[in-house]
Structure 1
Amino acid sequence: MRSIFFLILAANVFFFLQQHFFSAEVHAQGTGNTVQSVQEEASPQGLLLLSERSATDGAIKKKSSQSALANRELGDESKNDTPLCTMIGPYEQLLHAEYAVERLTALGADVHVVPIEIKEGESFWVYLAPEVSEREALNRLYELQRKSIESHVISKGELANGISFGRLSNYEDAEALAKKIRDTGYDAQIKIMPKTIQETWVVVADGIAGKIDNSVWEELIKKQKGLEKRQNYCLGVASQ
């Protein structure tokens, strides 16, 4: 009986040891396969080295730089293709400009007179808002004149049928005038207006001015004090 007990105990111990070592071997084999799989995924074939990435980035930047340079050169070429016209002016009298046109035309030049508006600061318009009709505007004008307030009816534009008290070049003066009128019971307002002057220039087409002798230019410039000869892009210069 005792021998049977020890036999069963020995069999259980043997079975336990066999199961323990077999599980450890399987676990070690699985770990080895996992490590091998990770190593294969991290192989050089699946990675982009720092030197290779730098080379790729450099190629992209170089291509972008070349594209930007090409676009800039294209813009410069477009600007350089714009013809240059030769201009003489500004003329105080149209008659003098027409004489220059005749003189240059006789030499075979393509030439014309061009009026050019030049912005010269701002002016400040003191006014009353437009009335509903011209008759109402005239009634308002007579009312102001009876109070010795100098004014006139605005005949056209967005302020037509309004009352104008004049345009002043200084804002402080305009504000003082508007306040004086407000003190008499009228809602005077101030509108800022661009102040422009018109100059008369003689324009010679591109490629012709260089064929005219300098003595001719000097003769034309001496006809009036303040005349000058200059070059400007022909684009936007309209014939008159």
Structure 2
Amino acid sequence: MKGIILTLLALNLAFGGWLYWRSQQPDADATQVVLAELNNLGLDEATRVQLAQSGRQRDNPNQAAAQCILIRGIGSADDASVIQARLTALEVPSTVSVRSEVVRTDHWVVLGPFESTARARERLAQLQADGVESFLINQGRLEGGISLGLFSSNSNAENRRAALAEAGIDARIEDFPRTREVRDLNIAAEAARLLSDGALESILDRFEGVDFQRYGC
């Protein structure tokens, strides 16, 4: 009788150990579902497998839990939609925001605006008679002024202004930022902890100028 009890106890321990081992194994069905969703997103096979395997792992297990992810600098609405679709396939929701980003600043050497168009044309005629390259500005915040040169470099604009000053022409430099519309995606902390840096890099590496960062939130 004692031998039977010991045998049953050993069998129970072995069965319990097997159940624990089984619970630690990856869910193959879940991985197949993710792969199936990624198949529709135009990704190559290696990228789909990497995303399916690593999308729910964190690169740093000691990373603070309350960290969000900001994906920055998406140039078009179409690109933002593609990235969001790939995140959604990994069950990672995101929100989009639109902002203006300065891509360059032009430096305009100008006179005026003048009190009237007639006065501006009179001054323009004097400048052109003296051989100074110039034209009338007919739109924008400097409408009614005179352009004496547009430069992408502030130093070149300053050289132009200084040369005009030596000729007795009191010009000034106006800066004009040139912007483009960009989109950012924000991933909340609860979803961000499910997404590894490697998975994000695989999603974003085809989009020029797009990057991401984790931040406390």
- Please give the TM-score of this superposition, normalised by the length of structure 1: 0.46
Scaled by the length of structure 2, what TM-score is found? 0.49
Q: Is the helix fraction higher in 1 or 2?
A: 1
Greater relative contact order (Cα < 8 A, sep 6+): 2
